Structure 1
Amino acid sequence: MKKIIMITGLLAASFLVSCNSKKEEKEAPIKYTVTSPAVIDTSFTKQYVSQIKSVQNIEIRAQEKGFLQKIYVDEGQYVKQGQLLFRIMPKMYEAELLKAQAEAKSAEIEFQNTKNLADKNIISKNEQAVASANLQQARAQVAVAKLYLSFTEIRAPFSGTIDRIPKKLGSLIDEGELLTSLSDNSEMFAYFNVSEPEYLSYETDIKNRADTKVNLKLANGDILKQAGKVELVEGEFDNETGNIAFRSRFPNPDKLLRNGETGSVMMVVPLHQALVIPQKATYEIQDKKYVFIVNKNNVIKSREIVVKGEMPDLYVIESGITVNDKIVFDGIQKANENDTIQYDFLKPSKVLNSLRLHAE
């Protein structure tokens, strides 16, 4: 009986020791790595929502009223400069031309007869001058009639791609009515808006760079194979938004880009005295980014940050923290609000060096 009691006691003592050991192990504080934001001069690639436009994009409109007699092209077709696109019924204008030509012929005969008589001094030189003026007027009428007749043939003013054709054969077309649009997509413009601080940094830095190349990110996430170039900045800022418009030009040999398409211009933006932190020091909730700040009592508190730009393994911070703050760098997955922690502090410069080595 005594042996049973002794064994039971030993088992109980062993169980208590095991529980206490597990409790001590559970309550042992986790040691974190903590760092601070770094301030550096750098640059990062920023994306700007852009509107893509053809180098040339115009509306083709009727210059005369009439019935649409012929459509020589189809929607989406590539046409060459001078190619015939539409014909508006020209019968009336053909008749006007014939009439003008007949009057010009009559005026020419009259002038010739008057000249012969004037050469023989039968009539005065003034009558010859009047006949000459009548002939010039008749020829001018022929030129006008030819011009109006030419308006019934609508030709491509430049090479490009035909857009939608809203009117069908036989439609009555009014003067100035839209027939289609024509786009020259050999090269494309991408317009995007830049804030005033970024504009100032860009203009300051441009003197130190050999080019102003940019890339274009398409709506499906792909990057256009051909790089573009910033070629101009508009003359004034928008007072409502505080932005200024940039225009970049992209080659389009594959005709992948079309007028009205959307995308994002990716431009390298220089930054002076930028505040950066490691991306791994952040976490995200509902599209908002946070870090854990370590206060003077070694208690961690979450704080929302606003990210200005993204670099490999780093975020450029716009607001939310300062260079004097301490943030949890390693072990953030285990951290909880209001935890009291132990930590090792790692200088920001060493953190940046470790990230560079990791990237290499």
Structure 2
Amino acid sequence: MQTTFLTYFNFYFSLFLFFSCQKSEKTNNLPIGSSHKVPVVKIQQIQSKPFLLQLQTNGITKAQQQTQLFFKQTGEINRINFPNTSVVSAGRIIAELDNRKEKLLVLQAQDQFKKASFILNKLLIEYGGKDLDTLSIPSRVLENIKIQSAYYEARTALRHAQVQYENTFLKAPYTGVITNLKTKEHNQASLSEPFCTLINNSIMAIEAFILESELSYVQIGQSVKIKPLAYKDKNYIGKVYEINPQVNQQGLVSIKIRIQNPNKYLFDGMNAHIVIEKSLSNQLVIPKSAIVERSGRKVVFTYEKGLAKWHYVSISHENETHMAISEGLNAGNWIILDGNLNLGHDAKVEINKDK
């Protein structure tokens, strides 16, 4: 009796477990959310229009005028009038040497020149000329008495002394900023080491490199966008002023860009990001959001009568926000802009009519 009870119990318990597992398996196989909603997408009709091609590269800013300044003779540095980072105008004296000896030499030369001029005038009168009037005697006679009076030697000696005196001053050849000034007053000036570097940073230049295949998109005078890496909020517009007519071993071509730098934020040696733009006509332009990748290939979905249609596309150009399509689409196609990540071919979709 007890055996019969156990047999029935095991039988009904096994049935209970079987149906419980079947129910659980069906429940587990239900899709998440259980309801199959039709994706809502945004669409846009594409037309042939100009495409803004962007070539992007990097470069380093350089001052267009940059000169290492040297004293032209040795001597003790007597005075430094402008320290590093000073802005000096053209012709201003940056520093000067102890020039007491040179001043004396100029005075001596002036005395010798006055003496020679006196003798010249005396000979002028002796040869029948008028006092202080060198045009009152023939030019051949005047030449002879200039030689006799040592006038030429005295004049040359005076000019030499004046040049020696001028060489004790270091002057700015143009308006600029003083950099790399390392020496101090009362040190000896060196003929082999620059006293300082003068930089005119009101106009800067950038040398950048582009691919040989991109050369047709760049021309002299073309505007270029420049963003220094040091400043997130500063943008500059430059112009291409030189294209080096040579391709290097890496297949790159050097271009140079000129930039106005009125606020002096740009420093010599700064890194900058460069965007060169050119408009290409008659291109099928679509937003990048319309592109998805499937098996390593670019795919765009079009909208046709409530269905998403899968198209492989080829891209000819791209910029930061858009792409130009060379194959796979036609003007007039309605493309799906978003909600396309999980779409399949012939999937049902609804249009988002919200503006």
TM-score normalised to the size of structure 1?
A: 0.68
Structure with the largest fraction of helix: 1
1:291 and 2:296 correspond: yes
Q: Does the CA-based 8 Å contact 1:229-1:249 persist in structure 2?
A: yes
Q: Where in structure 1 are there 5+ consecutive unaligned residues?
A: 284-289, 295-305, 335-341, 347-353
1:1-360 equivalent positions in 2, closer than 5 A: 6=12, 9-10=15-16, 12-23=18-29, 25=31, 42-119=51-128, 129-133=143-147, 134-175=150-191, 177-203=193-219, 212-220=222-230, 222=232, 224-225=234-235, 227-269=236-278, 278=288, 291=296, 310-312=319-321, 314=322, 343-344=344-345
Mapped partners of 1:331, 1:250: distance in 2:
43
Shift of residue 244 of structure 1?
2.3
- Give how far 1:138 is off: 1.5
What SS is found at the alignment partner of 2:177? strand
Q: 1:87 to 1:221 in 2, by over 3 A?
A: closer
Given the superposition, is the C-alpha separation of residues 45 and 293 from structure 1 closer, same or farther in structure 2, using an over 3 Å criterion?
Answer: closer
Equivalent position amino acid for 1:178 in 2: P
SS in 2 for 1:258: coil
- For residues 27 and 56 of structure 2, the distance between their equivalents in structure 1, rounded to whole angstroms, comes to 54
Gap regions ≥5 residues in structure 2: 130-136, 300-314, 329-337
Over 3 Å counting, the alpha-carbon distance change for 1:116 and 1:278 in structure 2 is closer
When structure 1 is superposed on structure 2, of 241-250 and 16-25 the one drifting more is 16-25
Query: d(CA) in 2 for partners of 1:235 and 1:255?
Result: 27
SS of aligned partner of 2:344:
strand
Output the TM-score relative to the length of structure 2: 0.69
Instruction: Name which one, 1 or 2, has greater alpha-carbon Rg.
Output: 2
Q: Is the 8 A contact 1:79 1:160 kept in 2?
A: yes
1:18 deviates by 2.3
Aligned 8 A contact 1:62 1:176 in 2: no
Give the whole-Å Cα distance in 2 for the aligned partners of 1:141 and 1:345.
99
Counterpart residue identity of residue 291, structure 1: G
Offset at residue 61 of structure 1 (A): 1.0
Specify the SS of the correspondent of 1:94: helix
User: What CA distance in whole angstroms lies between the structure 1 residues aligned with 2:115 and 2:183?
Assistant: 41
The CA deviation at 1:181 is 0.7
Return 239-248 or 152-161, whichever deviates more: 239-248
Q: Is the 8 A contact 2:63 2:201 kept in 1?
A: yes
| Residue 297 of structure 1: aligned partner | none
Q: In the TM superposition, what is the alpha-carbon distance from 1:118 to its structure 2 partner?
A: 1.7
> 1:307 & 1:65 partners in 2: Cα distance?
64
For 2:114 and 2:73, how far apart are their aligned partners in 1?
27
Q: 1:221 to 1:74 in 2, by over 3 A?
A: closer
Q: Which amino acid aligns with 1:213?
A: S
Question: Aligned partners of 2:278 and 2:176: how far apart in 1?
Answer: 35
The amino acid across from 1:131 in the alignment is I
Q: For 1:36-74, what per-residue CA distance to the aligned partner results, in whole angstroms no more than 9, with x for missing partners?
A: xx9x87333332111211131111111112111111111
Tell me, yes or no, if the aligned pair for 2:217 and 2:278 is still in contact at 8 Å: yes
CA RMSD for the aligned pairs? 4.5
